[in-house]
Amino acid sequence: MYDVIVVGVGGMGSAAAYHSAARGARVLALEQFGIPHELGSSHGLSRIIRLAYWEHPAYVPLVRRAYDLWRALEQASREPLLVVTGSIDAGLPTTANVIGARAACAAFGLEHDELDSAALTARFPGYRLPNDAVAVYQPDGGFLLPEQCIVTHVTLARQHGAHVREHEPVITWDADDAGVRVTTQAGTYSAARLILTAGAWTGSLVRRVAPALAPERQVMLWTRPLRPAVFEVGAFPVFYINMPDGPFYGFPSHDGRGFKIGRYHHRRELVDPATVDRTCRPEDEAVLRDGIRRYFPDADGPTLAMKVCLFTNTPDEHFVIDRLHGGARVVVAAGFSGHGFKFCSVVGEILADLALDGGTRHDISLFSLSRLPIAFP
């Protein structure tokens, strides 16, 4: 009998297992693949973390706590996990990310600089945005190393006594007043609480939530820049730029892996994680090359790598973090809509709060199930 079973050991599940085990709970965490793997949402060497959160002001206190917890995890493990490069939010002066980033900086007193296009290129020469673009630079932004973050959470969870089992897919689960039961091919496990962190597969484990969770195919591209020095860490902040031809995000070259770019909602392909096309195709590269040629021409060198990854979108692109049946027995965290990784550390803390204590001091009202267009009995 466990105190908590965690289903899915990716970004969120690894953090939930760690935080629960670190508080002394008896934890079982079950992952269908190896840890880490490249079939879900948490691979590809880098994930942006930024304080100037334009999506909603409620994220800023959470991302501040996430920074603290990532730094604490680095200290506990002696593993470097977070690289600070500064962040750029850019677009036309009327775009939501520019207005929202500026508002977040003002509301939370965040250090920042506003730069017009010429000033941006003068300071960070890799950027060549149109003359009418503007940028908000926030110096605390940067990126996380997602595979190392997951492995580190799992390593420390195991050190705190957690049982983490790989290659063991959960087939079914049920809950009643007595507890929860989780069945895999190896058998049935019992616990007092259940945390469901199954990413793009959540809909297959919680059918009622499925209509509000839309897995989407994404593609990442790495190139060898023509002017490598201007795309190195230290010279090139992470970015989210929202021009009329679509939002692009990207990273400096780290560890010689090259400049990395993605297009948010790539080609708007909704998919099933069981059957998604994981081959990167010329039409995928064309979308990303277009962004490079327009906005980062000095990065338009040879392709080093491409990878497919999955978003899980909610209708409003805010997360789902809630109890499933009104009580605290089953907690679900999903629908991270392409911007969740930076929060894994604090989401792990929140999930441990909800599962072990029945509540959390963090404000998670934005992430309630009740806001979604789904029917509950």
Ligand X SMILES: Cc1cc2nc3c(=O)[nH]c(=O)nc-3n(C[C@H](O)[C@H](O)[C@H](O)COP(=O)(O)OP(=O)(O)OC[C@H]3O[C@@H](n4cnc5c(N)ncnc54)[C@H](O)[C@@H]3O)c2cc1C
Binding site for ligand X (CB under 6 A): 7-13, 30-33, 40-42, 44, 47-48, 169-170, 197-199, 201, 205, 218, 220, 262, 309-311, 334, 336, 338-342
Tokens for 158, please give them.
Answer: 């195991």
Q: Whole-angstrom Cα distance, residue 245 to residue 282?
A: 19
Q: Whole-angstrom Cα distance, residue 347 to residue 366?
A: 13
Cβ 125 to ligand X shortest distance, Å: 23
Cβ 65 to ligand X shortest distance, Å: 14
Cβ 338 to ligand X shortest distance, Å: 5
Indicate the Cα dihedral angle 46, 203, 16, 24, nearest 10°: -160
Q: Which is nearer to ligand X, 334 or 352 (CB)?
A: 334
Helix, strand or coil, per DSSP, at residue 181 = strand
Which position has the token pair 């990532």? 70
Tokens for 218, please give them.
Answer: 């994404």
Q: What angle do CA 112, 113, 119 make, to 5 degrees?
A: 155
Q: Which is nearer to ligand X, 120 or 205 (CB)?
A: 205
Cβ 272 to ligand X shortest distance, Å: 13
Q: Which is nearer to ligand X, 164 or 334 (CB)?
A: 334
Q: What angle do CA 251, 41, 229 make, to 5 degrees?
A: 15
Q: Which is nearer to ligand X, 227 or 281 (CB)?
A: 281
Query: Residue 286's CB: how many other CB atoms inside 10 A?
Result: 10
Tokens for 212, please give them.
Answer: 């509000």
Q: Which is nearer to ligand X, 159 or 204 (CB)?
A: 204
Q: Which is nearer to ligand X, 32 or 152 (CB)?
A: 32
Which position has the token pair 């008896």? 26
Residue nearest to ligand X (CB): 10
Residues 6+ apart with CB under 8 A from 19: 348, 349, 351, 352
Cβ 131 to ligand X shortest distance, Å: 27
Cβ 266 to ligand X shortest distance, Å: 8
